[in-house]
Amino acid sequence: MSVIVQKFGGTSVADATKINAAAARAIAARKRGHQVVMVVSARGKKTDELVRLAAEITDQPPPREMDMLLATGEQESVALVAMSIRQQGEEAISLTGAQIGIVTDSTHTKARIQEISTQRMRNALDDGTIVIAAGFQGMDPEFNITTFGRGGSDTTATALAAVLKAEVCEIYTDVEGVFTTDPRMVPDARKVDLISYDEMLEMASLGAGVMHARSIEFAKKYRVPLRVRPSFSDGEGTLISLDPKREAPVVTGVAFVKNECRVSLTGIPDRPGVLAQIFAKMSERKIPLDLVVQDISSDGKATVSFTVPEHDLAEALTAAQESINDLGTGQVLQGTNVSKVSVVGRGMRTHTGVAAQMFRSLAENDINIGMITTSEIKISVLVERDRCEDAVRTVHAGFALHQPQASPPAVGANHPDIHPGDHSTSDELERDVVARLAAMEDIVVSEVQLDTSQSRVTIGRLPDESGVASEIFSAVADKGVMVDMIVQNISHEGNAHLSFTVPTEELDDCLSVIKQTLQNFEMAKVSSDRSIAKLSVKGIGLRSHTGVGERMFRTLADAKVNVQMVNTSEIRMSVVVNNNLGPVAHACLLKAFQLS
Ligand code: ASP
Ligand code: MG
């Protein structure tokens, strides 16, 4: 019999009426012939309330006691839901995380799941009982109660769905589903019917906020189809699943994080080992770095920049300063008034001109772009914080996301990095790595790709003002050139500096349009490198596990490979290195991530 997992968030079980309604949903699924597991969050604002209460007693609550306290919120709601189901005439049993046997590590308040036993749940399900599992909690090997971090019930739900091989994991919430952007900011944002795990990962980590990012990592690892759906109506919601085979819209959504901070280390030596040292410092403190960007160096000095959430800024700055002290040269800069705006879409892999369109929308509204980075399915920019809302609105409108999205035919299908519709190899590699994991939430690095088919173009001394990136990328897109990795770091003395990669056979065309375009920018200087090697480490959870960057850069440093350019996203970390060193670097990385 097929298993369905249904997760109800705090607002969906806030009072007796809502609890009865949630229970009725589970009963309905049971009557349709499924075995049903419910995962329930604490009621309403219960968790916030408990956090506040603890803060009234101490400003440093011991993490172990915090977990003990917060886990009670869920214990309360599962008991009430179980009573409601019994009252409505079905069998039900409530279980805490520990009673189920969800074993985690001992990192209180952000524990990671190691394993889950299914026996007790299976026995109950086979008896026709509805299982009601407390979300967001487990126990460590010493029987201490642990929690997974705020919003962690989504993670419980996907993890249970994974171990029970559920047909679907339904996430009931107080919105219609996943939207093209935050409807509170853009009222004509639309609900998306279908989105891939990778897109959702990029959206979630970028602050789309519908779901706990870790739960999507879980779902992707174990191929659990997720459906985010409203608890207040019969809406079908949004299905999150493997890259659907059908043609994809070019852009699926616009995500943003309003309160971002930027940290830059500038004037650092351009030699192997420097990035490894910096990443080690950050990972020691478990600071998750986002949007890591390094452009080609000038005068032997490089600049690496990254963004961190506001609450990690102080620590990130301390770590950065330590790095600079150890290196004996360089300077730490910060930008505290920035926001990150990103467009995400799996169709981007096979279409030119997406960056150009995004930059054009920003230019039309006089919004200056501070930093740029891309992955195959995402383009992110940093903008001044007071322009964040304008940026989201104009980019959303520019891609006409308020209308149903058509799926134009793919171009660039000959591009070696692009395999439209064919992700079967990546898929198999990933399954293989997942099958060998020691603990369920371990990092998955499933592929290291070497691409030697691209060239690099760098444009320096551009004016740091709105409209420049738009003009350049529009001209390149008009030529039909497929731009891959775009990197723009912070400007220096009013000059912006931009690099990107293009297929080598398109380099000459690209350079000629750029020369024409640059007639408008007298000072600008173009350089290029016909043969580069791009290496990408791909996997799941690269950003939330802070050690991957460190291992990647340490490995390259040990192999004496200098990193010329870097960009990262939720699903890949890419670097550009000297072409001759590509194969060696590739072999070392495969070995470091145990893929050879
Ligand atoms: N009750 C926890 C929280 O509010 C977990 C959850 O709701 O997913 O963060
Ligand atoms: Mg919650």
Which residue's alpha carbon is nearest to atom 6 within ligand 1? 151
Residue 344 pLDDT greater than 60, yes or no: yes
pLDDT of residue 188: 94
Give the residue among 456, 451, 185 at the shortest CA–CA distance from 339. 185
In angstroms, the CA 40 to CA 134 distance is 6
Q: Which ligand is nearest to the CA of 150?
A: 1
With the most atoms of ligand 1 within 8 angstroms of its CB, the residue from 50, 70, 76 to mutate is 70
Q: Which ligand is nearest to the CA of 77?
A: 1
Q: Which atom of ligand 1 is nearest to the CA of 154?
A: 8
Do the beta carbons of residue 175 and residue 230 sit within 8 Å?
A: yes
Q: Which atom of ligand 1 is nearest to the CA of 151?
A: 8
In angstroms, the CA 226 to CA 198 distance is 13
CA–centroid distance, residue 43 to ligand 2 (Å): 8
pLDDT of residue 246: 65
With the most atoms of ligand 1 within 8 angstroms of its CB, the residue from 7, 12, 43, 47 to mutate is 47
CA–centroid distance, residue 175 to ligand 1 (Å): 16
Amino acid at the residue 572: R
CA–centroid distance, residue 231 to ligand 2 (Å): 14
Most distant CA atoms of the chain, gap in Å: 79
In angstroms, the CA 340 to CA 356 distance is 17
Q: Which atom of ligand 1 is nearest to the CA of 74?
A: 1
Instruction: Record the tokens describing residue 14, joined without a space.
Output: 């806030």
Give residue 429's pLDDT band: very low, low, confident or very high (50, 70, 90): confident
Residue 416 pLDDT greater than 60, yes or no: no
pLDDT of residue 218: 87
CA–centroid distance, residue 471 to ligand 2 (Å): 44
CA–centroid distance, residue 10 to ligand 1 (Å): 7
Residues with CB under 6 A from ligand 1: 9-10, 41-42, 47, 73, 135-136, 150-153
The helix (run of H) or strand (run of E) holding residue 303 is strand 301-309
pLDDT of residue 409: 59
CA–centroid distance, residue 43 to ligand 1 (Å): 9
Residue range 16-21: average pLDDT? Answer: 97
Average pLDDT, the chain: 90
Percent of the chain with pLDDT over 70: 95
* Secondary structure of 188-244 in HEC code, one letter for each residue: CCCECCEEEHHHHHHHHHHHHCCCCHHHHHHHHHCCCCEEEEECCCCCCCEEEECCC
Q: Which atom of ligand 1 is nearest to the CA of 153?
A: 8
Instruction: Record the tokens describing residue 541, joined without a space.
Output: 């959870």
Residue 299 pLDDT greater than 70, yes or no: yes
- Residue 224: burial class (beta carbons within 10 Å; 0-12, 13-18, 19+): buried
Residue 417 pLDDT greater than 50, yes or no: no
- Reported as a single tens digit per residue, the pLDDT across 500-557 is 999 999 999 999 999 999 998 889 999 999 999 999 998 887 766 677 888 899 999 9
CA–centroid distance, residue 78 to ligand 1 (Å): 13
Q: Is the pLDDT higher at 54 or at 428?
A: 54
Could you give the domains of the chain?
3-174 (3.40.1160.10), 253-405+448-592 (3.30.2130.10)
- Reported as a single tens digit per residue, the pLDDT across 118-176 is 999 999 999 999 999 999 999 999 999 999 999 999 999 999 999 999 999 999 988 89
- Reported as a single tens digit per residue, the pLDDT across 373-388 is 998 899 999 999 999 9
Helices and strands in the chain, H and E counts: 17, 26
Q: Which ligand is nearest to the CA of 73?
A: 1
Residue 390 pLDDT greater than 90, yes or no: yes
Residue range 409-417: average pLDDT? Answer: 46
Q: Is the pLDDT higher at 345 or at 296?
A: 345
Which residue's alpha carbon is nearest to atom 9 within ligand 1? 150
With the most atoms of ligand 1 within 8 angstroms of its CB, the residue from 43, 46, 153 to mutate is 153
CA–centroid distance, residue 135 to ligand 1 (Å): 8
pLDDT of residue 295: 87
Q: Which ligand is nearest to the CA of 135?
A: 1
Alpha carbon separation from 500 to 14, 72, 295, 373, 458 (Å, rounded) = 50, 51, 9, 10, 7
Lowest mean pLDDT among 228-242, 418-432, 438-452: 418-432
Instruction: Record the tokens describing residue 407, joined without a space.
Output: 């799926």
With the most atoms of ligand 1 within 8 angstroms of its CB, the residue from 39, 41, 215 to mutate is 41
Cα–Cα–Cα angle for 347, 295, 281, rounded to 5 degrees: 100
Give residue 412's pLDDT band: very low, low, confident or very high (50, 70, 90): very low
Residue 209 pLDDT greater than 80, yes or no: no
Q: Checking DSSP bridges between strand 130-134 and strand 35-40, what pairing results, if any?
A: parallel
Q: Which ligand is nearest to the CA of 70?
A: 1
- Reported as a single tens digit per residue, the pLDDT across 92-121 is 999 999 999 999 999 999 999 999 999 999
In angstroms, the CA 562 to CA 585 distance is 10
CA–centroid distance, residue 137 to ligand 1 (Å): 10
Q: Residues, the chain, total?
A: 596
CA–centroid distance, residue 51 to ligand 1 (Å): 11
In angstroms, the CA 560 to CA 517 distance is 38
With the most atoms of ligand 1 within 8 angstroms of its CB, the residue from 150, 155, 171, 211 to mutate is 150
Give residue 228's pLDDT band: very low, low, confident or very high (50, 70, 90): very high
Handedness of CA 280, 284, 285, 286 (dihedral sign): positive
CA–centroid distance, residue 37 to ligand 1 (Å): 18
Q: Which atom of ligand 1 is nearest to the CA of 42?
A: 1
Q: Which atom of ligand 1 is nearest to the CA of 48?
A: 4
Q: Which atom of ligand 1 is nearest to the CA of 10?
A: 7
Residue 243 pLDDT greater than 90, yes or no: no
Instruction: Record the tokens describing residue 34, joined without a space.
Output: 């499924």
Q: Which atom of ligand 1 is nearest to the CA of 155?
A: 8
Q: Which atom of ligand 1 is nearest to the CA of 152?
A: 8
Which residue's alpha carbon is nearest to atom 5 within ligand 1? 151
Residue 420 pLDDT greater than 70, yes or no: no
CA–centroid distance, residue 41 to ligand 1 (Å): 6
In angstroms, the CA 332 to CA 316 distance is 10
Residue 440 pLDDT greater than 80, yes or no: yes
Residue 73 pLDDT greater than 60, yes or no: yes
CA–centroid distance, residue 44 to ligand 2 (Å): 8
Q: Please, which residues have CB within 8 angstroms of residue 433's CB and are 6 or more apart in sequence?
A: 444, 445, 446, 539, 595
Q: Which ligand is nearest to the CA of 48?
A: 1
Do the beta carbons of residue 88 and residue 16 sit within 8 Å?
A: no
With the most atoms of ligand 1 within 8 angstroms of its CB, the residue from 52, 67, 72, 136 to mutate is 136
Percent of the chain with pLDDT over 90: 71
Do the beta carbons of residue 211 and residue 204 sit within 8 Å?
A: yes
Handedness of CA 59, 65, 69, 70 (dihedral sign): positive
